[in-house]
């Protein structure tokens, strides 16, 4: 069974300060992990993905995430927040199905606020 927990429903940072969005997962096998961002009235955009290659994954817009198996975590970070980063972020766990399809489970989301 798979599940994903985003530990904070809201995170507020000042522009120029680091961003940390926390995600823990549970999976009975080696998972694929993703972070998506959703800006208001827009669709979801993939930030980055982990698929059992390098544990430190770099994504778009300066975001990166580190896969830590021992902690079952996949936290999203960015060294310096920008106003345009204000959005909702989703951590996603996925894995293959015996049917040949692919199952994805979304976390509840973390809304990031960036203060000027």
Tell me: does residue 111 bind other proteins (CB under 8 A).
Answer: no
Q: Which CB atom, from 43 or from 116, has the smaller least distance to other proteins?
A: 43
Tell me: does residue 1 bind other proteins (CB under 8 A).
Answer: no
Tell me: does residue 56 bind other proteins (CB under 8 A).
Answer: no
Tell me: does residue 70 bind other proteins (CB under 8 A).
Answer: no
* Burial profile 82-98: b = 16 or more Cβ within 10 angstroms, e = fewer: eeebbbbbbbbbbbeee
Among 68, 80, 96, 113, binds other proteins (CB under 8 A): 96
Q: At 80, list the tokens.
A: 């310096």
| Window 10-39: contact mask with other proteins (x via CB under 8 A) | ----------------------x---x---
Cα of 31 vs its chain's centroid, Å: 13
- Residues sharing a CB contact under 8 Å with residue 75, sequence separation 6 or more, in sequence order: 20, 21, 22, 23, 65, 66
Q: CA 68, CA 42: separation in Å to the nearest integer?
A: 31
Q: CA 111, CA 9: separation in Å to the nearest integer?
A: 6
Q: Which CB atom, from 13 or from 107, has the smaller least distance to other proteins?
A: 107
The residues binding other proteins (CB under 8 A) are 32, 36, 41-46, 49, 51, 90, 94-97, 99-109
């Amino acid at each position: 069974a798979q599940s994903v927990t985003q530990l904070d429903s809201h995170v507020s940072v000042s522009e120029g300060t680091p961003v940390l969005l926390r995600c823990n997962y549970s999976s009975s096998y080696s998972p694929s992990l993703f972070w998506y961002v959703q800006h208001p009235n827009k669709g979801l955009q993939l930030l980055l993905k982990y698929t059992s290659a390098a544990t430190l994954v770099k994504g778009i817009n300066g975001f990166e995430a580190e896969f830590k198996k021992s902690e079952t975590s996949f936290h999203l970070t960015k060294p310096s927040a920008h106003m345009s980063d204000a959005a909702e972020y989703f951590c996603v766990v996925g894995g293959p199905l015996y049917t040949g399809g692919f199952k994805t489970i979304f976390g509840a989301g973390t809304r990031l606020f960036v203060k000027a």
